[in-house]
Amino acid sequence: MDKNNRGLSRRSMLAGTAAGVIAPVVVSASAGSSPAAAAGMTRDITVYADYVPGSTRVGYGLEPGKPTIPGPLLECYEGDTLVIELVNNTDQRLSIHPHGVNYDTKSDGSPFNDSFNKPYETKIYTWKTRTAYQAANGFWMPGSAGYWHYHDHAFGGDHGTVGLMKGLYGGLIVRKRGDLLPSKQFTVVFTEMWINHQIAPNTPIFEANLGERVEFICIGHGNLMHTFHLHAHRWADTRTGMLTSATDNAPILDNKTLDPGNSFGFQVIAGDGVGPGAWMYHCHVQQHSDDGMSGVFLVRNADGGMPAGAQAAIDRFKGHQHSTAKPDASGVSAHAHHS
């Protein structure tokens, strides 16, 4: 399996503050938030924007010359401040624009506010989060907790369209203290007819062991409406995908609309009630699925071994017929609308 498609083994920013470091912290499925995050912290992160070797695609990364698509998953707790040092290693202007957090106009990441990196320029963007608070009228204002995302807003134009089509995007999680932390995390981005800028059978194979707590972060970009469907696993339509009590009647889903600019996340227990195996995830707009918007969630045995029949299922998936809408070296397919 492609190592780049495997989930982060509970690697997050939640336990460290070193610049540019996503520190590993292993947390059991029943544990709460990290003690290091008991108070709001300022977390310094250096993010590099680089061309993907061998293509004209562009991505964000935590090391120079090593961009990924999607970019690194950034995490914090409500009350934390993220100070992003963005290093532009390209010959084009670009930026980083977040959803779901607070920032001033200097950190907007939009040419409208003259907020972007010139070619080869380094710039600081500051994102702040907050907890829920009671307003003067007695109502409560929401905090920042949620499954959000970030993306370019300046590459090739004033709205970031070209940057998104080239791969400048990533996931952002703001947690409430006490939230359960997963063992594995997977960022799934639907852009035009791609999943993480790939088309089946080259889409990511996400892997977890039976019984592991797995977190999916789903993001939509581009011009097309999609849905995200995960075979054999369900989640609650809540902030976390989990129920708060035995009497919580939140709707239970296995398919959810993923429009451009939207994002959501949830946690499941891998193989819970259904066992190990190769389970499909895909867009349930049927033409999109036919054209290559599908992938595999491989639930291995509890000991990490390959379940009976799983490899054969993956081989059949790789042999499925898909359309000829293949991305070129720039990451743009015949179905993509781009400038």
> Do residues 194 and 333 touch, judged by C-beta distance below 8 A?
yes
State the pairing for strand pair 81-88/42-51: parallel
Domain housing 268: 180-322
> Do residues 2 and 205 touch, judged by C-beta distance below 8 A?
yes
142 and 210: one domain? no
109 and 231: one domain? no
Report residue 199 as tokens.
């088309």
213 and 155: one domain? no
Looking at the domain assignment, is residue 27 inside a domain? no
Residue-wise pLDDT for 282-328, tens only, equals 999 999 999 999 999 999 999 999 999 999 999 999 988 776 555 54
Looking at the domain assignment, is residue 153 inside a domain? yes
Q: What is the pLDDT along the chain (339 residues), one digit of tens a residue?
A: 443 443 443 344 554 433 333 332 222 222 333 433 445 899 999 999 999 999 999 999 999 999 999 999 999 999 999 999 999 999 999 999 999 999 999 999 999 999 999 999 999 999 999 999 998 888 999 999 999 999 999 999 999 999 999 999 999 999 999 999 999 999 999 999 999 999 999 999 999 999 999 999 999 999 999 999 999 999 999 999 999 999 999 999 999 999 999 999 999 999 999 999 999 999 999 999 999 999 999 999 999 999 999 999 999 999 887 765 555 444 444 444 333
296 and 308: one domain? yes
Looking at the domain assignment, is residue 2 inside a domain? no
153 and 188: one domain? no
Residue-wise pLDDT for 107-126, tens only, equals 999 999 999 999 999 999 99
190 and 318: one domain? yes
DSSP 281: E
DSSP 171-217: EEEEE-TT----SEEEEEEEETTEETTB-TTSS-EEEEETT-EEEEE
pTM: 0.86
67 and 112: one domain? yes
